Amino acid sequence: MKKLTAILLYTFMLGYGPWSCGDGTIAAAAGREISSIRAEGNARNTQGMASDTHFVAIDQAYVQFGTMSVSREGSGLQRQSKGVEPSPFILWRNYVTQVYGAWIMTLDPQSGAQRGNRLRVDFLKSWRPVDVLWAQHFSISPMRGVEPSPFIVFRDYRLYTFPVTYGLDGSPVAGAPTTFLPDIDSVAYGQATCVTELPGSEFADGKARLFVGTDKGYIAVLFATLFGGIEVAEFLPISSLPIVNLHPLPQCGYIALGTLTGNAIRGIRYYPNSPVPYAVMFTLSDPRAPSLQDFDSFGADDIVLPDCQSTLRLVLANGSTDLALASIEADQTGIASLSLTLDQHEVGIKAAVTGSLLMLRTDESAIVFDPQYSPQTGSSGCDLDVSAAIPDQCIYVICGDANGDDAVDISDAVYLIAYIFSGGSAPNPLLAGDANCDSAVDISDVVYLIAYIFSGGQAPCAGCK
pLDDT score of 18? 26
Backbone torsions φ then ψ of 424, nearest 5 degrees: -70, 175
Residues in the chain: 465
Q: Is 454 exposed, middle or buried (0-12, 13-18, 19+ CB in 10 A)?
A: exposed
pLDDT digits (tens, 9 = 90+) for 29-53: 334 455 677 777 653 333 345 568 8
Is residue 70 within 8 A of residue 148, CB to CB? The reply is yes
Cα separation, 445 vs 450, in Å, equals 9
What are the residues whose beta carbons fall under 8 Å from the beta carbon of 312, sequence distance 6 or more? 249, 250, 251, 297, 298, 299, 305, 327, 328, 329, 330, 332
Is residue 266 within 8 A of residue 280, CB to CB? The reply is yes
pLDDT score of 45? 32
Chain centre to alpha carbon of residue 258: 17
Q: Where in the chain is the domain with CATH 1.10.1330.10?
A: 398-465
List of E strands, 208-332: 209-214, 218-224, 230-237, 245-250, 255-261, 264-270, 278-285, 294-297, 311-317, 322-329
Q: Identity (one letter) of the amino acid at 237?
A: P
Architecture of domain 398-465: Orthogonal Bundle (1.10)
The conformation of residue 338, written as its DSSP 8-state character, comes to P
Q: Identity (one letter) of the amino acid at 62?
A: Y
Q: Where in the chain is the domain with CATH 2.130.10.10?
A: 11-391
Q: Please give the torsion angle defined by the CA atoms of residues 117, 122, 193 and 315, in that order, rounded to the nearest 10 degrees.
A: 20
Q: Identity (one letter) of the amino acid at 222?
A: L
Q: How many CB atoms lie within 10 A of CB 51?
A: 9
pLDDT score of 431? 77
Is residue 10 within 8 A of residue 392, CB to CB? The reply is yes
Question: What three-state secondary structure class fits 420?
Answer: helix
Cα separation, 359 vs 355, in Å, equals 11
The conformation of residue 223, written as its DSSP 8-state character, comes to E
pLDDT score of 146? 52
Instruction: Give me the CATH topology for the region 11-391.
Output: Methylamine Dehydrogenase; Chain H (2.130.10)
List of E strands, 95-183: 99-107, 114-123, 129-135, 149-154, 159-161, 164-166, 172-174, 178-180
User: Model pTM?
Assistant: 0.78
Is residue 260 within 8 A of residue 282, CB to CB? The reply is no
The conformation of residue 374, written as its DSSP 8-state character, comes to B
DSSP output for 79-117: TTSTTEEEEEEEEEEETTTTEEEEEEEEE-TTT-PEEEE
Please, which contacts does 264-272 make with residues 24 or more away whose CB atoms are closer than 8 Å? 264/292, 265/292, 265/295, 266/238, 266/239, 267/332, 268/219, 268/236, 268/238, 270/198, 270/203, 270/209, 270/211, 270/221, 270/236, 272/203, 272/204, 272/205, 272/207, 272/209, 272/221, 272/233
pLDDT score of 428? 78
Low-confidence ranges of the chain (pLDDT < 70): 1-35, 41-51, 65-83, 141-148, 381, 389-392, 395-397, 464-465
